[in-house]
Amino acid sequence: MKVDCLIVGAGPAGSIAAKEMASRGYDVLVVEKKQEIGPPKRCAEGITKHGLENLGIELHPLCISGRIKGAALYSPSGKKVTMEGEQMEGYVVERKIFEKWLASEAIKAGAKYMVKTQAMGMERINGKWKVKIKSIDGLQEVEAKLVIGADGVESKVGRWAGLNTVNKITDYHSGIQFEMANVKINEKYIHLFFGRDVAPLGYAWIFPKAFSANVGLGILEKGAKMKAYDYLIKFIEEHEDIFKNAQPIEINGGGVPVAHFTEMVADGVMLVGDAAQLVNPIHGGGITRAIHSSIMAVEVADKALKKGDVSKEVLKEYERMWDEEYGEKTKKLMKLRAFLEKLEDKDFELLADVLQGEDIYALTQAKLSFLIKKIVTKPALLGLAKKYLMD
Amino acid sequence: MVRVDYDKCLYCAGCVGICPVDAITLYETRIVIDEGKCISCMTCVKFCPVGAMEG
Ligand SMILES: Cc1cc2nc3c(=O)[nH]c(=O)nc-3n(C[C@H](O)[C@H](O)[C@H](O)COP(=O)(O)OP(=O)(O)OC[C@H]3O[C@@H](n4cnc5c(N)ncnc54)[C@H](O)[C@@H]3O)c2cc1C
Ligand code: SF4
Ligand code: SF4
């Protein structure tokens, strides 16, 4: 089989790349190893409205399971800071419907899909990639001018192309989640819980859906005394008011790459989404970044294929575009993460005292000078702020 | 060598993404460890959210 472009993985990154390539007239094949696109999810399914709007995406109504007006943050002692406003509005999607919808849009644009089909390895021969794929029909070889690695945190495409995509345990959240029914909590908000004993170096969340809620947490191993799963059980036990009569309807887990360091291209290869560690390093959201990376990658791929030159040098333009848009912000958010990782529970309490809702939004937008101004009022936090936030 | 407790594994593939020597592969719902490659660094054991990787 010969194609212009082989896409490995049919998550949000893969299906958007497929749609963009197919609508430009390229011959595209997407291989997805799961028998069903979507489950099991590795995701709390939250997306902001403005994030989607910036990408020009209007969700099919069936993708939407919850409508969110704002966020509530809880300090270790239970102090609550809420934030609302247009920027905070969002959805909790039903991820398997969302992913199938994205795939169907790509297929309408002309992309070909194979499910229960795993990419097994690839070799570069005469300027083309020969990729081995395994499916119900057995082992086959696909010859592709370009391979897009949209294969998530477990990306092998990057490794096969010689890129260093291996995540480091210091920058990789161990995530665990129940989807639960009968959770008693304000369903207009997403709820985020902080504390060394709640979710060390991460946070716990409750994202309400139509008749359930995603209840999970992410931790960093270096701060943890037990498994992520044990922290989740403890979290549920300690919030009897919320979970008294709630029961799980799903359990899932996953790794969240909260530091981006890999190169994103090699000769005839581009990495998009989680495969290139393109996740917001503060909150771990990766859906909109995955989609945006695919849109950028295809813009560059299109030019390269038209030129007949898909060398690393030419494809590098994608990496430059990404850095221009996200590089500075990601660096600042990494700094903020280093600062937050140093906070003890008592420091979180101080922060909860000085920060108002809109401040927290500013923080997620990497407006650090703003945080520093607030922190100056709490001398106990100054030392850390100087060390981690100021240049 | 590490081994997987399939009763616990959620096939989330998180361990695949941090193995420094590419010894782990997820085949749809089944984690497989390549004994020839594994260097027993225990990174996957430390990471696994449910403790399904045993050292
Ligand atoms: C616990 C948790 C909670 C999260 N919550 C949120 C959230 O609320 N909001 C948010 O925006 N982000 C969230 N994220 C991050 C988000 O899920 C990811 O950033 C997003 O899924 C990345 O999309 P992707 O398409 O790059 O990769 P994925 O969605 O991981 O898709 C990769 C696909 O490739 C397939 N694949 C892999 N290898 C092969 C192969 N060799 N052959 C064929 N197919 C292959 C996989 O089966 C998979 O379907 C969360 C992550 C975790 C772990
Ligand atoms: S990290 Fe643990 S639960 Fe996830 S696939 Fe690996 S062994 Fe299974
Ligand atoms: S112990 Fe280390 S080398 Fe072996 S599978 Fe786990 S992460 Fe890979």
ipTM summary value:
0.98
Local structure of residue A251 (DSSP, 8 states): E
Q: Where would I find the H helices in chain A?
A: 12-23, 49-54, 95-108, 157-160, 228-238, 240-243, 287-307, 312-322, 328-341, 345-354, 357-364, 368-375, 379-388
| Residues facing A6 on adjacent strands | A29, A147
Residue of B nearest to A117 (CA): B28
| Nearest CB partner across the interface for B49, out of A34, A152, A229 | A229
In CATH terms, are A2-45+94-167+259-327 and A169-257 the same topology?
no
- Ligand 3 centre to CA of B25 (Å) is 11
Q: How far is A219 from chain B (nearest CA, A)?
A: 9
Contact A310, A146 (CB under 8 A): yes
Query: Distance between CA A381 and CA A386 in Å, rounded?
Result: 9
3-class DSSP state for residue A373? Answer: helix
- Are the Cβ atoms of A172 and B50 closer than 8 angstroms? no
Query: Distance between CA A232 and CA A199 in Å, rounded?
Result: 8
- What string of pLDDT tens digits covers the 391 residues of chain A? 999 999 999 999 999 999 999 999 999 999 999 999 999 999 999 999 999 999 999 999 999 999 999 999 999 999 999 988 888 899 999 999 999 999 999 999 999 999 999 999 999 999 999 999 999 999 999 999 999 999 999 999 999 999 999 999 999 999 999 999 999 999 999 999 999 999 999 999 999 999 999 999 999 999 999 999 999 999 999 999 999 999 999 999 999 999 999 999 999 999 999 999 999 999 999 999 999 999 999 999 999 999 999 999 999 999 999 999 999 999 989 988 988 888 899 988 988 888 877 777 777 777 777 777 777 778 888 787 777 777 5
3-class DSSP state for residue A170? Answer: helix
Written as one string, the DSSP assignment of chain B is --EE-TTT-----TTGGG-TT--EEEETTEEEE-TTT-----HHHHH-TTS-EE-
Q: How far is A208 from chain B (nearest CA, A)?
A: 22
> Which sequence spans correspond to the domains of chain A?
2-45+94-167+259-327, 169-257, 342-388
Q: What count of other Cβ atoms lies within 10 Å of the Cβ of residue A334?
A: 17
Sheet holding A189-193, edge to edge: A80-84, A70-74, A189-193, A203-208, A213-219, A172-181, A247-257
Closest CA to A334 of A283, A370, A372, A281: A281
- Are the Cβ atoms of A166 and B49 closer than 8 angstroms? no
Q: What count of other Cβ atoms lies within 10 Å of the Cβ of residue B51?
A: 15
CATH of A169-257, one of 3.40.190.170, 3.40.50.150, 3.60.21.10, 3.30.9.10: 3.30.9.10
- Ligand 3 centre to CA of B23 (Å) is 6
Residue of B nearest to A162 (CA): B22
Query: Distance between CA A288 and CA A325 in Å, rounded?
Result: 13
- Ligand 1 centre to CA of A38 (Å) is 9
Positive or negative torsion for Cα A335, A337, A343, A346: positive
Q: What are phi and psi of A94, to 5 degrees?
A: -95, 100
Q: What is the reported pTM? A: 0.96
- Ligand 1 centre to CA of A369 (Å) is 33
Domains of chain B: 3-49 (3.30.70.20)
Domain A2-45+94-167+259-327 falls in which CATH fold? FAD/NAD(P)-binding domain (3.50.50)
Local structure of residue A41 (DSSP, 8 states): P
| Residues facing A217 on adjacent strands | A176, A204
- Are the Cβ atoms of A40 and B13 closer than 8 angstroms? no
E strands within A108-259?
Answer: 112-114, 118-125, 128-135, 138-149, 172-181, 189-193, 203-208, 213-219, 247-257
Query: Distance between CA A271 and CA A290 in Å, rounded?
Result: 10
Q: Is the CB of B50 under 6 A from ligand 2?
A: yes
Query: Distance between CA A369 and CA A314 in Å, rounded?
Result: 37
| Nearest CB partner across the interface for A169, out of B18, B25, B49 | B18
Ligand closest to B18 (CA) is 3
Q: Ligand 2: which residue has its CA nearest to atom 4?
A: B12
